């Protein structure tokens, strides 16, 4: 018996499971960026997609506000993507255009959205005329889109240097947490975090700190906030998708 899944069923399965993104050797569509910086003064932004697989793929793209479980027909963002659905032949590419609708967005800080790229593979063909049990999967990638308003004249390059760090006990677990206070208008994505406590290197969680907000990071192995004067280092993902390392200072 041949088992196939309709396009609607695939999308329903993805969203009900809350699947955000995953990669596989079977996925053919490659997104040519890890993030997009959309400046308000730009007419549009472009993202290059390529099909590195051996078969044609149907691709659907849409934007969301951060909730990966919301279906495309239920989400509204101030961006239009063209083309929204297209076919990409093997070893060929497609340029995706992102247009801003000029809907008002906060001018004192960055806003963040997500670009979704859903690859729907072709229906499997019969092998030597025999029916085969098979299950098809769709592959979805999500990358961040940062909207940077004109009013932000300062560069975000030095924003990580302005993070204020301090150790605080967690009221629920009693363990020590590392809190980062972001006083800037930029999102700061931490992708590595480390405390050096007397030669012991303690790794922390990662995450994105929103503008003018705080985030607490779990430090596995740090049971007490009275750890003397540990050295703090962290790395962030910059505008180009690379990483930059910084040294942090702990405050009381």
Evaluate if residue 27 carries a pLDDT over 80: no
| Whether residue 62 is found in the same domain as residue 179 | no
| Whether residue 103 is found in the same domain as residue 174 | no
Structure-model confidence comparison of residues 74 and 15, the more confident one: 74
| Whether residue 131 is found in the same domain as residue 18 | yes
In a domain, 164, yes or no: yes
Residue 86 is predicted with a pLDDT of: 96
What residue numbers bound the domain in which 181 lies?
A: 156-248
Average pLDDT for 163-173: 89
Tens-digit pLDDT profile for residues 93-143: 999 999 999 999 999 999 999 999 999 877 766 444 545 666 667 889 999
Residue 199 confidence class, pLDDT cut points 50, 70, 90: confident
| Whether residue 140 is found in the same domain as residue 20 | yes
Burial class (CB in 10 A: 0-12, 13-18, 19+), 249: exposed
| Whether residue 139 is found in the same domain as residue 164 | no
Total domain count, the chain: 2
| Whether residue 144 is found in the same domain as residue 225 | no
Residue 93 is predicted with a pLDDT of: 96
| Whether residue 100 is found in the same domain as residue 202 | no
| Whether residue 160 is found in the same domain as residue 120 | no
Residue 173 is predicted with a pLDDT of: 76
- Average pLDDT in the chain: 86
Query: Looking at residue 123, which CATH number applies to its domain?
Result: 2.60.40.10
Single out the residue in 113, 148, 183 at which a domain terminates.
148
In a domain, 135, yes or no: yes
Tens-digit pLDDT profile for residues 207-216: 999 999 999 9
| Whether residue 103 is found in the same domain as residue 54 | yes
The 10 Å Cβ neighbour count of residue 173 is 9
Sign of CA dihedral 48, 78, 157, 203: negative
Report the percent of the chain where pLDDT is more than 70: 84
Residue 203 near residue 193 (C-beta atoms within 8 A): yes
For residue 30, list its beta bridge partners: 50
In a domain, 1, yes or no: no
| Whether residue 62 is found in the same domain as residue 171 | no
Evaluate if residue 41 carries a pLDDT over 50: yes
In a domain, 119, yes or no: yes
Closest CA to 251 of 168, 160, 157: 168
Evaluate if residue 242 carries a pLDDT over 80: yes
Q: Which residues contact 138 (CB under 8 A, 6 or more apart)?
A: 10, 11, 14, 118, 119, 120, 121
Tens-digit pLDDT profile for residues 131-154: 566 666 788 999 999 999 999 988
| Whether residue 61 is found in the same domain as residue 118 | yes
């Amino acid at each position: 018996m041949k088992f196939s899944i309709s396009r609607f069923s695939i999308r329903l399965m993805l969203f009900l499971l809350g699947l955000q993104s995953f990669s596989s050797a079977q996925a053919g569509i490659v997104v040519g960026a890890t993030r997009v910086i959309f400046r308000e003064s730009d007419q549009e932004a472009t993202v290059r997609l390529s099909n590195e697989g051996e078969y044609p793929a149907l691709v659907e793209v849409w934007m969301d506000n951060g909730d990966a479980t919301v279906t495309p027909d239920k989400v509204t963002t101030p961006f239009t993507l063209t083309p929204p659905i297209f076919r990409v032949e093997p070893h060929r590419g497609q340029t995706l255009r992102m247009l801003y609708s000029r809907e008002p967005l906060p001018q004192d800080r960055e806003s963040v959205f997500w670009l979704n790229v859903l690859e729907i593979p072709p229906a499997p063909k019969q092998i030597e005329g025999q029916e085969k049990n098979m299950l098809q999967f769709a592959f979805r990638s999500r990358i961040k889109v940062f909207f940077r308003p004109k009013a932000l004249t300062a560069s975000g390059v030095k924003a990580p240097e302005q993070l204020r760090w301090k150790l605080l006990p967690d009221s629920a677990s009693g363990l020590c947490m590392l809190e980062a206070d972001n006083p800037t208008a930029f999102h700061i994505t931490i992708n590595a975090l480390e405390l050096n406590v007397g030669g012991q290197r303690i790794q922390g969680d990662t995450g994105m700190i929103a503008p003018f907000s705080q985030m607490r990071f779990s430090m596995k192995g740090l049971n007490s906030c009275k750890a003397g004067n540990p050295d703090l280092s962290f790395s962030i993902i910059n505008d180009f998708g690379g990483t930059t390392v910084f040294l942090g200072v702990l405050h009381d």
